[in-house]
Every structure is written in structure tokens, then in C-alpha cells.
């Protein structure tokens, strides 16, 4: 018998090959390849720790306190410190020591869009896809600092080919193709509540991406860290594929990170309301940690300080800077060899599978568990982690859901508000409602301006300044 099948049987996972004899040779080969990817010891360990009777009852909250963060000047922060940080960040960009990193391996289930999320169209006039928005921001930043950027993009097995094809079809949106680096993240098998690996069909395992935290080991495994080292790149600017508002390259953020010799830095926004569903930046036992809203009791979420403000104020928006060698260290730990290890999280899900007779099962309620790594779990392992404040309006409006909160509609409006703010900051009267939403629909190309500074630089050069009207595209 095939030694791999034997290994699965010995590990009590023989069901993976229950229909093996029925499969065509090509299907058998595929199943064996998938099975070879599975770390049976890891699955056994996760079953013990996350599914077993001794599974932790919840997150340990002893000694938890709000994490300190660097305030923006308009909120009482040190303006000269921000100016200095910006200069440090700009110098690093001019020296080519920073690269961009987009995590785009998610399944995007909530949006329900058929295709890689980065191909989803988001801008108000040109309906540019997310990937184009980032490509143009990064091109513009590269030009501004005189050093074209490298861009790393993490995909999944499910969307890798479609993502690469999309870039090909669109001539990489003008990006130097030699500087765009795609790599796949790892996969994890889903298990039932007893820890048995589930099959999706008779010839395939129910595999899913290993979470955005899988990016650390995927960066190492794909050779991206070595490429960075060869190119003299020390810092990765990490952002999610669903957030077109993000400042993909933010010199002040980079400067704070470098000045503090931080290994992993993060941006925070003040929570909009006590129960907002974000991760909370906290400290515990001298370390910085992110506690998910679902793990922080409501009374803590609502706690106030002496001034009546929220005590746990700092919400995480999944924007980070990562030091290259820190990622390497974490990646070694993640594969279990030594030291630091990102913990897996358990998510109970409805997992399409087959029953013992091989019949398709479409469950109505969760029938199993997926295991995922979260990138923010690396923060406690980082030396000198820095958290800086940002304004939501400048950095965060994700497309998560098809409608309602964090949807294409809210994201479009937030882009319009940002464009209107940039115009107003340059003396243009723009009619808006009380929320800052302009009456007209228009769009600013990232190649014209991708943040307040770059917009102002381009705007100053326009003589005479154009009259912006409904449907205008400022490029």
C-alpha cells in the first residue's frame, strides 16, 4: 500500500482514502498530492488543543490594559515627531528599502463576488478594480520617491491563476511586471468536531486558506524574503485587498516604525462606538496583543476612563509594517521548528462534504471546523511594536459585505468624501452633506493624487485649476 495512505490510517485519518479505489488514476494522483500537503501532526495537535475536552475556555484576560499609541498631532500628538518620522520614512523610500504587500488569499464569502476580490470594481466613476487602485497608488509613490516599488501579492490556491491572468490581461496596470510577485498561501484541512479530516468530494480534501497569518510562512516558503534581502528591502507595508482607501505607502508610519526599531507596527483608529466589531490593541504581561471583540467582554468594551472616554479605544484596521527578518523568525516558528509560533484559531463553519456513502452533504448548520492563523498574533512576538493613530477617513473603508456596513456603497461614498476633502484642503468649494459626502460624483486617479500631500502637489501644478463637475475624472 502507498506509504502516505498508511500514514493517514495510522493517524486515524484513513477516511480520506475511503473512495480511493473508485477514483481514476489522475484523481488518485490529485488526492495523494493534496494529502501530502497535510501535516498530520499539526492536525492532531490542533484537534487536541482546540477541539478536545481541555480546549481553552476563552482568551486569558488577566492583566489586560489598553495599549499606548502615538497620537496624531490634531489629537494632541507631537507634531515635530510626526514631521521627523515622515522624513525618516521618505528617506527609506528613496533608498528602496520598503516594499508593498497585499494579502489577497481570502475567500470573500460575505461579498459573494465570483472571482478574486482584487478584481472587484470599486471606484465611483471609472469603476476601477481594487488591484488597479493599489497598482496606481504604488506606481505614483514609486515615481514620487524616485524608486519604483516591489509589490508582493499573496493569493490562494483557489484564486492564484485568476489573479495572475487578470494582471496579464490588464498589462499589470502599468506596473513593472518584474516587480509584481505573486505567491500562494498555504492550506489547512477542515475537520469534523471529532478531528476527522473532511472530504469535499470522493477525490478531494476540504482544504481552505490558512488565514492571513499564513502570510508569514508563505513569504518565507515562496522565496519572497530572500528576494527582499537581495534587493535591500527591509520593510513590508502590509494591507488587505478589500480596502481601497488605505495609504499603501505611508512615510510617517514607516518613519515611526524605523525610528523605534520596531519589528511589527500597526495603525489604529479610535473606535466609532463601544461595541464596534474590531480587534482591540491591548497590553498584557508587558506585551502588545490584539484581542478580538468577540473575546472582550461587553463591559470591558464599554469601560470608560476618568474623562468619560472609552478606555479600550484603539481598534485594529489590519494595516501593518513588517520587518523582513522578523517575518523570517516567525515563519520558522510557525512551522514548529523553534521559538515563536502563531496560534491557530478555530472557526466553526458549514463545510460542504460527503457522507460515508459518498453522497454530497450541504450542511444547514456548522458541521466542522476550519483552522486559521491571524497576522496580528505576531505582534506579541515583535520587539518594540509601535501603534500609531490614523484617521479612518484616510485609511480605512473595506468592502466586506454585499450590502449595508462595509459594502461597495459605503466604500464608494468614503472615496467621494476623501476626494472632496482633498479639494477643499486646496481651496475648492465643494458642496457636501453633513457627513462630508459631495453632491456630485467624481474621481481622482491615484496617479494624480493618492494622499493629501501628493494631491496638493499635483493640484498646485494645474493652471488654471479645472472646474470639477459631476462625472469628472481627475487624472
The verdict on 209 binding ligand UTP (CB under 6 A) reads yes
Provide the minimum distance between the beta carbon of 154 and ligand UTP in the complex, in angstroms, as a whole number.
5
Our CB check for ligand UTP shows the closer of 104 and 199 to be 104
CB of 458 to ligand UTP, least distance (A): 29
Indicate the residue among 109 and 357 with the shorter CB distance to ligand UTP.
Answer: 109
290 is a site residue for ligand UTP (CB under 6 A): no
The alpha helices in 323-377, defined as continuous H runs, are 324-334
| Span interacting with ligand UTP, options 97-105, 123-131, 136-144, 418-426, rule CB under 6 A | 97-105
Question: Based on CB atoms, which residue is closest to ligand UTP, 139 or 184?
Answer: 184
**Cα separation, 190 vs 38, whole angstroms:** 11
Between 242 and 323, name the residue whose CB sits nearer to ligand UTP: 242
| CA atoms within 13 A of residue 77's CA, in its CB half-sphere | 20
Determine if the peptide bond prior to 464 is cis (ω within 30°): yes
The reply on whether position 105 binds ligand UTP by CB under 6 A is: yes
For residues 277 and 406, what is the distance between their CA atoms, to the nearest angstrom? 12
Question: Interface with ligand UTP includes 420 (CB under 6 A)?
Answer: no
> Does 251 help bind ligand UTP (rule: CB under 6 A)?
no
CA 321/CA 254 separation, integer angstroms: 7
d(CA 405, CA 230): 42
Going by C-alpha positions, the residue among 162, 156, 153, 264 that lies closest to residue 219 is 153
- Residue 211 interacts with ligand UTP (CB under 6 A)? yes
Using the rule CB under 6 A, give the single segment among 39-47, 90-98, 238-246, 456-464 that binds ligand UTP. Answer: 238-246
Nearer to ligand UTP, 207 or 388 (CB): 207
Task: Candidates 242, 263, 394, 395: give the one binding ligand UTP (CB under 6 A).
Answer: 242
Sign of the C-alpha dihedral computed for residues 331, 336, 338 and 343 taken in this order: positive
Report if residue 109 touches ligand UTP, rule: CB under 6 A: yes
Q: Which stretch binds ligand UTP (CB under 6 A): 48-56, 108-116, 161-169, 308-316?
A: 108-116
If we measure between CA atoms, which residue out of 343, 351, 342 comes closest to residue 193? 351
Q: How far apart are CA 52 and CA 250, in angstroms?
A: 44
Applying CB under 6 A, which of residues 247, 280, 400, 421 lies at the interface with ligand UTP?
Answer: 400
Q: Does residue 110 belong to the site contacting ligand UTP (CB under 6 A)?
A: yes
Residue 97 phi, psi dihedral angles, 5° rounding: -95, 5
**Of 155 and 262, CB closest to ligand UTP:** 155
Q: How far is the CB of 375 from ligand UTP (least distance, A)?
A: 8
Cβ closer to ligand UTP: 142 or 209? 209
Q: Is 316 exposed, middle or buried (0-12, 13-18, 19+ CB in 10 A)?
A: buried
Query: 104, 134 in Cβ contact below 8 A?
Result: no
Site for ligand UTP in 130-189 (CB under 6 A): 154, 185
Answer yes or no whether residue 218 interacts with ligand UTP by CB under 6 A: no
- Residues 336-362 as b or e (16 or more Cβ within 10 Å = b): eeeebbbebbeeebebebbeeeeeeee
**Nearest-CA neighbor of 184 among 2, 37, 13, 16?**
37
The reply to whether 97 sits near ligand UTP by the rule CB under 6 A is no
The reply to whether 257 sits near ligand UTP by the rule CB under 6 A is: no
Interface ranges with ligand UTP (CB under 6 A): 103-110, 117, 154, 185, 209-212, 214, 240-242, 400
Amino acid at each position: 500500500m502507498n506509504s502516505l495512505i498508511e500514514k493517514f490510517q495510522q493517524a486515524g485519518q484513513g477516511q480520506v482514502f475511503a473512495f480511493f479505489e473508485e477514483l481514476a488514476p489522475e484523481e488518485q494522483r490529485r488526492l495523494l498530492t493534496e494529502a501530502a500537503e497535510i501535516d498530520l501532526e499539526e492536525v492532531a495537535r490542533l484537534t487536541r488543543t482546540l477541539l478536545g475536552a481541555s480546549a481553552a475556555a476563552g482568551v486569558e484576560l488577566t492583566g489586560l490594559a489598553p495599549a499606548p499609541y502615538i497620537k496624531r498631532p490634531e489629537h494632541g500628538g507631537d507634531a515635530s515627531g510626526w514631521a521627523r518620522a515622515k522624513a525618516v520614512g521618505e528617506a527609506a523610500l528613496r533608498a528602496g528599502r520598503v516594499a508593498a504587500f497585499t494579502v489577497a488569499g481570502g475567500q470573500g464569502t460575505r461579498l459573494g463576488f465570483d472571482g478574486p476580490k482584487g478584481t472587484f470594481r470599486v471606484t465611483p466613476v471609472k469603476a476601477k478594480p481594487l488591484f488597479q487602485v493599489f497598482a496606481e497608488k504604488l506606481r505614483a509613490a514609486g515615481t514620487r520617491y524616485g524608486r519604483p516599488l516591489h509589490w508582493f501579492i499573496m493569493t490562494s490556491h483557489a484564486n492564484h491563476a485568476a489573479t495572475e491572468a487578470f494582471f496579464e490581461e490588464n498589462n499589470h496596470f502599468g506596473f513593472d511586471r518584474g516587480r509584481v510577485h505573486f505567491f500562494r498561501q498555504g492550506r489547512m484541512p477542515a475537520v469534523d468536531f471529532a478531528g476527522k479530516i473532511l472530504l469535499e468530494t470522493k477525490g478531494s480534501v476540504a482544504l481552505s486558506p490558512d488565514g492571513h497569518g499564513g502570510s508569514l510562512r508563505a513569504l518565507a516558503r515562496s522565496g519572497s524574503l530572500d528576494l527582499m534581502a537581495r534587493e535591500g528591502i527591509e520593510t513590508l507595508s502590509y494591507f488587505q485587498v478589500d480596502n481601497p482607501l488605505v495609504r499603501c505607502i505611508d512615510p510617517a508610519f514607516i518613519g515611526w516604525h524605523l525610528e523605534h526599531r520596531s519589528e511589527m507596527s500597526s495603525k489604529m483608529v479610535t473606535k466609532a462606538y463601544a461595541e464596534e466589531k474590531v480587534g482591540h490593541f491591548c497590553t498584557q504581561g508587558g506585551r502588545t496583543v490584539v484581542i478580538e471583540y468577540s473575546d472582550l467582554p461587553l463591559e470591558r468594551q464599554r469601560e470608560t476612563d476618568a474623562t468619560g472616554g472609552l478606555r479600550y479605544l484603539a481598534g485594529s484596521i489590519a494595516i501593518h509594517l513588517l520587518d523582513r527578518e522578523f517575518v523570517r523568525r516567525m515563519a520558522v516558528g510557525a512551522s514548529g521548528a523553534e521559538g515563536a509560533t502563531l496560534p491557530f484559531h478555530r472557526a466553526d463553519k458549514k463545510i460542504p462534504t460527503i457522507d460515508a456513502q459518498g453522497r454530497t452533504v450541504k450542511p444547514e448548520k456548522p458541521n466542522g471546523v476550519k483552522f486559521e492563523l491571524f497576522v496580528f498574533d505576531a505582534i506579541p512576538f515583535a520587539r518594540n511594536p509601535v501603534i500609531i493613530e490614523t484617521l479612518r477617513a484616510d485609511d480605512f473603508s473595506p468592502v466586506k459585505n454585499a450590502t449595508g456596513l462595509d459594502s461597495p456603497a459605503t466604500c464608494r461614498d468614503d472615496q467621494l468624501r476623501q476626494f472632496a476633502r482633498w479639494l477643499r484642503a486646496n481651496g475648492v468649494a465643494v458642496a457636501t452633506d453633513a457627513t462630508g459626502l459631495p453632491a456630485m460624483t467624481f474621481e481622482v486617479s491615484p496617479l494624480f493624487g493618492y494622499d493629501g500631500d501628493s494631491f496638493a502637489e499635483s493640484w498646485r501644478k494645474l493652471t488654471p485649476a479645472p472646474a470639477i463637475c459631476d462625472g469628472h475624472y481627475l487624472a
